[in-house]
Amino acid sequence: MDFKVGEGSSFALKTEGKTVDLNIYVAAREKKSLSVEMHFGAGGIFPFNMWQQFQFNFKENRPISISKGYILAKENKTPEIMPKELFKQNQGIQVQDFLFSKQSEFSKFFVGDELVEAPAGTFVAKHFKRSRKGQIVDFWISEEVGPIGLVKLISTSESKSSQNYSVELKSLLKRVRPTINPEDATEISKESRAIFITNN
């Protein structure tokens, strides 16, 4: 994929009977790293507008890793540095579960090529399935839909209602300016840490 700064996708995030916007786009691109920012609309996973930005590092013959993370929540004017222990919680599917450095790692979750409908249209996409600690995630990927590639995602869990949600592609994004500037980030507050843990 050709990851261009400012390009990404807009999704409809459906959770607990509510539908909100989820935008994912490329915030920065370097030779060996890629920064992706996500904006969660108020009323979905979080009861307020939330931005998260992660920097992914690429090293030859090594797994893709998350090196930095930032959040901007509620009425805060300044982004905060996300401690690495918040990159991965002890429940469900994580961002790291979708990071693959080899085709063989990715292909073992492949279900098949399928025709998938989303608000943005109908696409031929590759269906993958992952599960972890009771959460099952089906997702469909297509090279037709820009740098993010995601057409649809459905998460289900019998034990945790917060893990029952879906994500469907609405449109592609271009020329999006990131909201979080890592240079402005400060240490995470106790309030933000508590909110982030409660909603994950």
Cα-Cα end-to-end distance for the chain: 29
Q: How many Cβ atoms sit within 10 Å of the Cβ of residue 32?
A: 9
pLDDT at 96: 47
For residue 19, give the amino acid letter.
Answer: T
The number of residues in the chain equals 200
pLDDT in tens, the chain (200 residues): 578 899 999 999 998 788 999 999 999 998 888 899 999 888 766 777 889 999 988 877 666 778 899 999 876 789 999 888 777 654 444 454 444 445 555 678 899 999 999 999 999 999 999 887 788 989 999 988 888 889 999 999 888 887 888 999 999 999 999 999 999 999 998 888 877 665 54
Domain coordinates in residue numbering, the chain: 8-198
Give this prediction's pTM. Answer: 0.85
Name residue 81's amino acid. Answer: I
* 109 contacts: CB under 8 Å, gap ≥ 6: 128, 129, 130
Please tell us whether the domain made up of 8-198 is placed in CATH 2.20.25: no
Joined tokens for residue 68: 């930095």
Q: What is the pLDDT of residue 178?
A: 95
* pLDDT at residue 113, as a whole number: 95
Token output for 195: 């909110």
pLDDT at 105: 59
